[in-house]
Amino acid sequence: MTEKAAARIAELSEQLHHHIYQYHVLNAPLITDAEYDALLRELQTLEARYPQFALADSPSQRVGSDLAVGFDKVRHPAPILSLANAFDEADLRSWEERNRRLLPAGASLGYVLQPKLDGLAIVLTYEDGVLTRAATRGNGEIGDDVTANVKTIPTVPLRIPVAADAAPAPSRLVARGEILFHKDSFAQLNREQQAQGLPAYINARNTASGSLKQKDSRETAKRQLSAYIYAVVASAGLELESEKQTLLLLRRLGFNVVSDASYCASLDEVIAQLPAWEARRDALPYEIDGLVLKVDDLAQARALGVVGKDPRGAIAYKFAAEEATTKLLGLTIGVGRSGKLTPTAQLEPVFIGGVTVSNASLHNYDQVAALDIRLGDRVVIKRSGDVIPYVIGPVSAARDGSETPILPPAHCPFCNTALIQPAGAVDVFCPNPRCSERVLRTLEFFVSRGAMDIEGMGPQTASALIAAGLIKDEADIFSLSAEPLLELEGFAEKKVQNLLASIAAAKARSFPQVLTSLGIDGIGATVAGLLAGAFASMQDLQATAAAIRQAEAHFADIVTPLLADAAADDPAAATLIARLQQPTAALAPRYLEAADLPARLQRLLRPLQLSAEAITALAAGLKPLIEASRPLHNIDGLGPVLVANIVAWFSDAHHKQVLAKLKAAGVTMRAEEKKQAGSVLQGATFVLTGSMSAPRAEVKALVEAHGGKVTSSVSKRTSYVVAGASPGSKAERATKLGIAIISEEQLRALITGD
């Protein structure tokens, strides 16, 4: 055992030395910070148990340092301390327990809780209110002078107080904070990199660090860095008593103070807030890797002192790491209903935040090319919240030359049809609507619950039917007969009977369900319901889509010659040209009520410098399109993109065939006559909340069948809130507004008049 420990200590030490060199000297880390921390922790634990094996040059003795050559060195006025880590509630409780033992018995401990920003520490010195120096943490005692670079960051005040009428700043103030990229600024930086054909940056924190260590501050200025300030390191003439007061003072002076800090009167209060913080993590504009918990009373914090480099009065509560590195072993390709190809990374299994990940999304081939991800690469994987894990990018520094480029296939891996990439699209598509994989995916959706809801048609059955050539599209299921099915392996009499019976029953599904099952992009049950409310039949909907398509074609005939020599390199013009090319989504909805269409178009299209005749022609061409699309655009809740999707779906030749087959098979093609069972609820508006004895949609239909209206939010116009079991905030709101809350039984009694 001890031999093993000695060997492991040696191995860890060597690995850590290597990673320190990669990170600090080469600025090319091979693993994530969390992976580095895990190695270091393992080493520290082993060294604590077996101190006799600790090497003289153990990396655990080396204080993290970000010192770089080429910068003047600055001695900090007080040590720039680090923080000990806690990983769970128990760690926090034992931290408080240890602290209590160092404080007078019964001392009350209050805390300030704030996000732990995943950036790099910065120390700002202000003399007589003027920023005179900015330094990195360095080794905690000596840092790099990066004043010129920091001065380019807009959130760092060059003079305090920022507001002329605020109380004056102390004659000397040394403040500490964090420099980082907001998530959107980092994404923007990467878009710019990609536009220039340069590799994307993988890690925001390292990139922020690199940005701050530029030799030329004009380079730093090009990066949109932000600074958040959270502590006072030293000052002249300030008597601060608490963390709370410190943050208030920093804010008053005009600093961008770490946001959402809160005071908690006890550790229990802190612990109660942890889940909400974890849930908020992804929604924050910057990356955080945990929370910082500080004893609020500065006298108490001072009394607690420092252990090593960590003040006892503060601790970092670390969230589970969301990123890890692993090896990209291979790729699998999926083809979806629409024909879209999705490459998925096959990974050497890696543990991220409590889950083993062995597949991750690569988004699309454009992204693979932009990030220059190669087979065999070490890659950084991110797994956060409910999002499917995805590949952030390659660790280029870890390449050994054996990696091979990834190219999109030229042909569909399932049906061998040549793939296409529509102009401007990032995705590659299989254009063959009869591709076995596309049919399988389409069928899976078609028979699913909420769509045609066909029992007994699981993925295996669907695959078997497609493989046997019995089904070439989703409509074919209605022409299945018993004999050929009975010949298939695993299809016994009973199974076949049941399957055919559930297929037959599906013909009577409601019109909205049939619309949903078509699988039009963005048209789920809710929108299908809206469509069915506005169009009595499939035929009406088809006719509208056809009329729109015809008007679009006519409009395109007018637009195309006009744009032949338009200046597409001007971005304003390019946007307008794109709009003219998608008139149903981008023009028609804007002008539904326009009385002066030519004048409006003239104003919109000014950057294109079109002649008066051209504008008149465009207006004349747009008018019929506006009229044709009005029935769709007028549906409340149906946005322009969905309208365009509907038109595209119904205009497709393959879809037309499928619809004809469905119709011939006797599938419902029109809305039911509105059966008005009664009008006792006429004029009353209901809001439903909590769980009821029947699905919400059924209760809604019941109310509507008796002339009532159901809306989703409680307002003054609501007549009744119907509360089922565990009602939500809607019931609370009703109480506030003084609106009657009734039970489901009371609703039924209103209808029956009991």
Selected binder of ligand IVH within 13, 32, 82, 190 (CB under 6 A): 82
Selected binder of ligand IVH within 12, 231, 352, 532 (CB under 6 A): 231
Site for ligand IVH in 689-728 (CB under 6 A): none
Looking up tokens 């922790």 gives: 41
Q: What is the DSSP string of 355-398?
A: EEEEEEE---HHHHHHHT-EET-EEEEE--TTSPPEEEEE-GGG
Beta bridge partners of 113: 262, 293
Q: How far apart are CA 98 and CA 305, in angstroms?
A: 12
Report, in Å, the least distance between residue 86 CB and ligand IVH: 11
Return the range that interacts with ligand IVH (CB under 6 A); candidates 38-46, 81-89, 193-201, 248-256.
Answer: 81-89
Count of residues touching ligand IVH (by CB under 6 A): 15
State whether residue 337 is helix, strand or coil.
coil
Q: Could you tell me if 46 and 8 are in contact, meaning their C-beta atoms sit under 8 angstroms apart? A: yes
Report, in Å, the least distance between residue 139 CB and ligand IVH: 12
Q: How many other CB atoms are found less than 10 A from the CB of residue 214?
A: 17
The conformation of residue 722, written as its DSSP 8-state character, comes to E
Nearer to ligand IVH, 96 or 366 (CB): 96
Phi, psi of 412 (to 5 degrees): -65, 130
Q: How far apart are CA 340 and CA 263, in angstroms?
A: 50
Nearer to ligand IVH, 63 or 592 (CB): 63
Tokens encoding 399 = 């390449």
Q: Does 258 bind ligand IVH (CB under 6 A)?
A: yes
Report, in Å, the least distance between residue 16 CB and ligand IVH: 17
For 13-38, letters b (16+ CB in 10 Å) and e give bebbeebbebbbeeeebbbbbbbbee
Nearer to ligand IVH, 59 or 343 (CB): 59
Q: Which residue is nearest to ligand IVH (CB)?
A: 121
Q: Could you tell me if 379 and 345 are in contact, meaning their C-beta atoms sit under 8 angstroms apart? A: yes
Q: Could you tell me if 456 and 441 are in contact, meaning their C-beta atoms sit under 8 angstroms apart? A: no
Q: Could you tell me if 329 and 276 are in contact, meaning their C-beta atoms sit under 8 angstroms apart? A: no
Q: How far apart are CA 432 and CA 419, in angstroms?
A: 9
Q: How far apart are CA 157 and CA 173, in angstroms?
A: 13
Element (H, E) at 327: strand 323-335
Return the range that interacts with ligand IVH (CB under 6 A); candidates 27-35, 309-317, 396-404, 480-488.
Answer: 309-317
Q: How far apart are CA 659 and CA 667, in angstroms?
A: 9
Pick the closest to residue 511 from 531, 497, 494, 493 (CA basis).
531
The 109-138 site mask, x for binding ligand IVH (CB under 6 A), equals -----x-xx---x-----------------
Report, in Å, the least distance between residue 83 CB and ligand IVH: 4
Report, in Å, the least distance between residue 314 CB and ligand IVH: 5
Selected binder of ligand IVH within 179, 292, 304, 477 (CB under 6 A): 292
Report, in Å, the least distance between residue 350 CB and ligand IVH: 23
Site for ligand IVH in 22-41 (CB under 6 A): none
Q: Does 83 bind ligand IVH (CB under 6 A)?
A: yes
Catalytic residue flag (residue 244): no
Nearer to ligand IVH, 114 or 125 (CB): 114
Selected binder of ligand IVH within 36, 126, 201, 230 (CB under 6 A): 230
Report, in Å, the least distance between residue 318 CB and ligand IVH: 8
For 417-450, letters b (16+ CB in 10 Å) and e give bebeeeeeeebbbbebbebbbbbbbbbbbbbeee
Residue type, 144: D
Q: Does 232 bind ligand IVH (CB under 6 A)?
A: no
Q: How far apart are CA 518 and CA 187, in angstroms?
A: 36
Give the chain's end-to-end CA distance (angstroms, integer): 81
Q: Could you tell me if 316 and 277 are in contact, meaning their C-beta atoms sit under 8 angstroms apart? A: no
The conformation of residue 489, written as its DSSP 8-state character, comes to T
Q: Does 610 bind ligand IVH (CB under 6 A)?
A: no
Site for ligand IVH in 175-204 (CB under 6 A): 178
Looking up tokens 């709370």 gives: 244
What does DSSP say about strands 262-264 and 378-382: parallel, antiparallel, or unpaired?
unpaired
Q: Does 428 bind ligand IVH (CB under 6 A)?
A: no
Q: Which of 116, 213, 244, 382 is catalytic?
A: 116
Return the range that interacts with ligand IVH (CB under 6 A); candidates 75-83, 145-153, 344-352, 477-485.
Answer: 75-83
Nearer to ligand IVH, 304 or 485 (CB): 304
Report, in Å, the least distance between residue 227 CB and ligand IVH: 12
Nearer to ligand IVH, 277 or 686 (CB): 277
Nearer to ligand IVH, 127 or 310 (CB): 310
Report, in Å, the least distance between residue 176 CB and ligand IVH: 7
Nearer to ligand IVH, 138 or 621 (CB): 138
Nearer to ligand IVH, 80 or 379 (CB): 80
Q: Long-range contacts of range 662-665, CB-CB < 8 Å, 24 or more positions apart?
A: 662/475, 662/478, 662/514, 663/538, 665/475, 665/478, 665/479, 665/507
Nearer to ligand IVH, 63 or 130 (CB): 63
Report, in Å, the least distance between residue 242 CB and ligand IVH: 14
How many Å separate Cα 500 from the centre of its chain? 42
The 311-340 site mask, x for binding ligand IVH (CB under 6 A), equals x--x-x------------------------
Selected binder of ligand IVH within 6, 39, 68, 81 (CB under 6 A): 81
Pick the closest to residue 581 from 420, 421, 424 (CA basis).
424
Report, in Å, the least distance between residue 294 CB and ligand IVH: 7
Nearer to ligand IVH, 117 or 412 (CB): 117
The set of catalytic residues is 116
Chain positions contacting ligand IVH, by CB under 6 A = 81-83, 114, 116-117, 121, 178, 230-231, 258, 292, 311, 314, 316
